[in-house]
Copies of this chain bind each other. A is one copy, B any other.
């Protein structure tokens, strides 16, 4: 069991939004107002909840609660969908006695269907009656095609804690955030410093994850700090926050739809951090490289292909590629034992190390193998 930080309580229940009858509605409520940071999808077709979150963020008021439903994304639902989203937030606000603009709403699931509001109106008030300190049901209730709940935690030297939850398995190629990650902390932190650091942390964690190159309409990540355990050193807090988000990001990649292998791409020698992340993520997103990882095939030519199309600066005349620690390319093909490398790839995590040979910057991205199971999962997700 993962206990939430001090002053946070969670509840989850099956409201009937998922046809399967699994739990699909959940909230976390803080006893005190929270400083917060947020990032949402850059999609031009962003869902109602992302648009509302941006408004709350710009208004700058403290948060008191996060309310999430799974099974329905409330995306591409027009003005009616936006009204449903606002009503959902207001329902929890009323139930726990806080202003509506202190409740962050988030929806995930099938795109293009209106929320079943009768079920939402019945379910949300019940959440307020069942709040308790465990984070586990909260992590479980936000899942869609995920095979396991994703949580991560860190404790600062001063005793303050951070507990994060995340979901995401398909439609994963976040652009500013991933399909839901929420980090709760009882530390007191300076909101301006948190918000200033947040985009960089998101770039190095959730935005470095890819499952299928498909950026969701509902991607959202937020960190909430309710100050109940006192002030934390800002640098220590930000480092712990990045560790929690990195941990969750890797869990999302590892649990990619149909995936059995975590694909890690580490890039050095890049002209800039942005270039390193671009090169790493393009490799981790390549269907051909992902298929090769699935087949334990040391086909590093596909790394060269992906680097070539990534847009990152590279020097092919001094570029290096290692697969599972074995050098396979340095300016030209190297001699190695394919059977040995293939055997080394038969692991839970396959690592490609790449030196672009043009600068000093580095970056890392995570993906997963592409399996026939991915197709099976997505060929009939709605029907």
Q: Which chain A residues have a beta carbon within 8 Å of chain B's beta carbons?
A: 41-46, 73, 75-81, 110-114, 170-171, 173, 175, 212-217, 285-288, 291-292, 294-302, 304-314, 316-317, 329, 331-333, 338, 342, 370-372, 374-383
Interchain CA distance A113-B372 in the complex, whole Å: 28
If the complex has contacts A77-B333, A214-B287, A374-B291, are A379 and B297 also in contact, measured as CB distance less than 8 A? yes
B381 touches A299 (CB 8 A): yes
A300 touches B380 (CB 8 A): no
A214 touches B288 (CB 8 A): yes
In the complex formed, the residue of B with least CB distance to A113 is B333
B383 touches A375 (CB 8 A): no
If the complex has contacts A112-B301, A304-B76, A309-B215, are A295 and B332 also in contact, measured as CB distance less than 8 A? no
Interchain CA distance A45-B75 in the complex, whole Å: 39
Interface pairs A-B: 6 shortest CB-CB: A111-B301, A295-B379, A45-B308, A372-B372, A78-B332, A291-B378
In the complex formed, the residue of B with least CB distance to A294 is B379
In the complex formed, the residue of B with least CB distance to A76 is B304
A305 touches B216 (CB 8 A): yes
A217 touches B76 (CB 8 A): no
- Nearest chain B CB to A319's CB is how many angstroms away? 8
B214 touches A305 (CB 8 A): yes
Interchain CA distance A76-B304 in the complex, whole Å: 7
B215 touches A305 (CB 8 A): yes
- Nearest chain B CB to A204's CB is how many angstroms away? 21
Q: Which residues of B contact A288 (CB under 8 A)?
A: 170-171, 212, 214, 378
If the complex has contacts A213-B213, A288-B171, A305-B216, are A299 and B382 also in contact, measured as CB distance less than 8 A? yes
A305 touches B381 (CB 8 A): no
Interchain CA distance A45-B81 in the complex, whole Å: 46
Interchain CA distance A216-B301 in the complex, whole Å: 10
Quick one: which of B42, B297, B371, B381 contacts A383, CB cutoff 8 A? B297
Q: Which residues of B contact A370 (CB under 8 A)?
A: 375, 378
Query: 23 A-B Cβ contacts within 8 A?
Result: A43-B309, A44-B311, A75-B304, A76-B329, A76-B332, A77-B332, A79-B332, A112-B300, A112-B304, A112-B329, A212-B288, A213-B213, A214-B286, A214-B288, A217-B304, A287-B287, A288-B378, A291-B374, A291-B377, A292-B381, A295-B383, A298-B383, A372-B375
In the complex formed, the residue of B with least CB distance to A173 is B309
